Amino acid sequence: MWLFNYIIMKTLEQVLKDLERLSGIDLFVIDLFCGAGGLSEGVEQASVNGEKCAKVVVCINHDRNAILSHNANMPDALHFIEDIRTIELSPVISIVNRIRTLYPNAKIMLHASLECTNFSKAKGGLPRDPDSRTLAEHLFRYIDVVDPDYIQIENVEEFMSWGDMMITASRYQEIKDAYIKDGLTMSRSTVMTLNTAS
């Protein structure tokens, strides 16, 4: 473990060792833009017939406070205070390889809650920050090295139609075609979550 401003965070070696005791887990999650841990908390609470079935193993966010909060709630995951565009991925690859070795039938999900503020029509007009769009293009780097069983991207509906996405759309189609050729399927759904809290 290492100390980061008085918060103890697990090392890669500790997380790799901890994977050995997770034989009942069917789904392992890599959470990009993990924030303070909303999605991760839901994953950690998932169960089938009263048995825990999912585990968050890697969390990445550029915001220090978000990671410190996330680590307080999910201390067993490997945390990175990094930009997803520049992080060195060998620790993530080590975890994925260890999971695939220990639990060959388990699934790995790559989840990305990409920045959405600058895409949303709730902002009152056109998207404001062209650079925020590039975050999605960097997901392909993760898809290529992790080779996840599931990819989940959370964003606002406008994300799919903002500006000239020719490079991204072409790369997406290439990956989609490769996955379909391997017998996998891809789907897209839009969920309206406004005022769903009760």
- In 115-165, where does DSSP find H-type helix? 130-137, 139-146
Give the distance from CA 22 to its chain's centroid. 20
Residue 188 lies in a domain: no
CA atoms in the 13 A half-sphere facing the CB of 135: 24
Residue whose entry in the numeric block shows the structure tokens 């975890």: 95
Predicted model pTM: 0.77
Averaged over 161-188, what is the pLDDT?
Answer: 59
Averaged over 44-58, what is the pLDDT?
Answer: 94
Residue 110 maps to which CATH number? 3.40.50
Residue 99 lies in a domain: yes
Distance CA 62, CA 64 (A): 6
Range of the domain at 99: 2-181
Count structural domains, the chain: 1
Q: Which residue has the higher pLDDT, 198 or 133?
A: 133
Other CB atoms closer than 10 Å to residue 180's CB: what's the count?
Answer: 11
pLDDT at 94: 97
Residue 171 lies in a domain: yes
Residue 31 lies in a domain: yes
pLDDT at 128: 54
Residue 154 lies in a domain: yes
Residue 111 lies in a domain: yes
DSSP-derived secondary structure letter, 35? T
